[in-house]
Amino acid sequence: MQLDDLYRRVIMDHYKNPRNHGTLEADAVTIKLNNPTCGDSIALQLQVENGLVTDAKFSGEGCSISLSSASMMTEVVKGKTFDQALELADKFSSLMKGEPVEFEGYEDIEALSGVNKFPARIKCATLSWNALRKGIEQQQD
């Protein structure tokens, strides 16, 4: 097990300088999720318009993996349609299973591929993505 597999430089950069950290306007879709095994929590906010995610921000508490994952997710999801966003969430699940997937145009996420060698940490990485999925599925209902 190599720590460098897990804590790639990109990950630490997102952890130290989280993108889209904060809150959106009151009318944004808000999804709160926590990781009951460790107490980490995330509040994800999505601004949506006609089946499109126009903006995303997050707040909450978590480890380097969960916060950097949220930072990357909010970056990549902006401007995506609901279907595209769900597709990305599926891709992220594949990444966590150790499958080789590419995030064209947004390669930062691929740095999280090392998490699959640390099974105990997969839940950290998927927390924000689960929030995204939940938020979009709510909108589609």
Partner 1 sequence: MNIAAIREQFPILHQEINGHPLVYLDSAASSQKPRSVIDAINRYYEMDHSNVHRGVHTLGSRATDAYEGAREKVASFLNAALPEEIIFTRGTTTALNLVASSYARNVCKPGDEIVITQMEHHSNLIPWQQVAKATGATLKYIPLQPDGSFTLADAELSITSNTKVVAMTYVSNVLGIVNPVKEVAAIAHRNGAVMVVDGAQSTPHMRVDVRDLDCDFYAFSGHKMCGPTGIGALYGKKALLSKMEPIEFGGEMIDYVDLYESTWKDIPYRFEGGTPIIANAVGLGAAIDFLQEVGMDEIDKHQRLLAAYAYDRLSELEGVTIYGPKADRAGLVTFNLGDVHPHDVATVLDTEGIAVRAGHHCCQPLMRFLNVSSTARASFYLYNTEQEVDQLIAGLLKTKEFFGHAIG
Q: Which of residues 3-22 bind partner 1 (CB under 8 A)?
A: 3, 6-7, 12, 15-16
CB of 34 to partner 1, least distance (A): 9
CA distance 50 to 63: 34
Three-state DSSP at 53 gives strand
Q: Of 20 and 68, which CB lies nearer to partner 1 in the complex structure?
A: 68
Q: Is residue 59 involved in binding partner 1 (CB under 8 A)?
A: no
CB of 91 to partner 1, least distance (A): 24
- Quick one: which of 98, 100, 96, 104 has its CA closest to 126? 96
Q: Is residue 118 involved in binding partner 1 (CB under 8 A)?
A: yes
56, 108, 110 from 105: Cα distances, Å: 18, 9, 11
Residue 58 one-letter amino acid = F
Among 25, 27, 39, 104, binds partner 1 (CB under 8 A): 39
Q: Is residue 102 involved in binding partner 1 (CB under 8 A)?
A: no
- The alpha carbons of the chain give a radius of gyration, in whole angstroms, of 14
Name every residue whose Cβ is closer than 8 Å to that of residue 12 and which is 6 or more positions away in sequence.
64, 68
Q: Is residue 100 involved in binding partner 1 (CB under 8 A)?
A: no
What are the residues facing 33 on neighbouring strands? 42
CB of 61 to partner 1, least distance (A): 5
Q: Is residue 124 involved in binding partner 1 (CB under 8 A)?
A: yes
Q: Which residues bind partner 1 (CB under 8 A)?
A: 1-3, 6-7, 12, 15-16, 37-41, 61-66, 118, 120-121, 124
